[in-house]
């Protein structure tokens, strides 16, 4: 059984998709042992609590990058993390953390990498860029995290149609429902199965 730690910064909708998949028996070889939030008021912590998973705050605000990293590493080590899932985590991890967990950190990105990715492309900004460009298809990607933002090896992708009249908010919701919430739990299940 792999120890899974989920890193969050906000509402935790992707975390909820993971917890629902676990509850439905779809992630049999992994156990969610900790949810770490970079923001104290994140609703994701409530979701963790409701699922009986320890939630921890490692505040990014008011800390140097080094202080934040040291605190985050201490929590990951305490949780004996085998797999780290970035689920709406709004901080780019340093090489120090990435080197300690090679090919053990995954992220879900709300576009089909290599489109609309890299530094500065997160949240609604991704969907605004897709609509501005006029693409007819977008989607989501699960990938390993390396030192290049959104640059790690791709694990899974799922395409989602862009429809006439879409706003960034409507498109964001469709990408979450049709892609992110499906491929993220499936990727976690697959990695846990391969590494058990």
Catalytic residues: 109
Quote the strand ranges of the chain, DSSP E: 2-8, 30-37, 55-57, 83-86, 105-109, 137-144, 154-161
State whether residue 140 is helix, strand or coil: strand
Rg of the chain over Cα atoms, rounded to whole angstroms, equals 16
Residues 6+ apart with CB under 8 A from 23: 51
The b-or-e profile of 165-180 (16+ CB within 10 A means b, else e) is: ebebeebbebbbebbb
Burial (CB count within 10 angstroms: exposed 0-12, middle 13-18, buried 19+), residue 139:
buried
Measured in degrees and rounded to the nearest 5, phi and psi for residue 188 equal -65, -45
User: What is the Cα–Cα distance from 128 to 124, expressed in whole angstroms?
Assistant: 6
């Amino acid at each position: 059984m792999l120890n899974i730690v989920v890193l969050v910064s906000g509402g935790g909708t992707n975390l909820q998709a993971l917890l629902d998949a676990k509850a439905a028996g779809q992630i049999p070889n992994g156990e969610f042992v900790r949810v770490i939030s970079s923001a104290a008021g994140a609703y994701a912590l409530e979701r963790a609590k409701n699922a009986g998973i320890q939630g921890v705050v490692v505040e990014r605000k008011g800390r140097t990058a080094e202080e934040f990293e040291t605190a985050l590493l201490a929590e990951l080590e305490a949780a004996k993390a085998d797999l780290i899932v970035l689920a709406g985590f709004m901080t780019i991890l340093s090489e120090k953390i990435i080197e300690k967990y090679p090919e053990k950190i995954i992220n879900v990105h709300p576009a089909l990498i290599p489109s609309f990715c890299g530094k500065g492309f997160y949240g609604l900004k991704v969907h605004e860029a897709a609509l501005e460009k006029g693409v007819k298809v977008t989607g989501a990607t699960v990938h390993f995290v390396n030192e290049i933002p959104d640059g790690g090896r791709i694990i899974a992708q799922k395409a989602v149609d862009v429809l006439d009249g879409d706003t960034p908010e409507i498109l964001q919701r469709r990408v979450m429902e049709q892609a992110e919430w499906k491929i993220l739990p499936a990727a976690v299940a697959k990695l846990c199965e391969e590494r058990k």
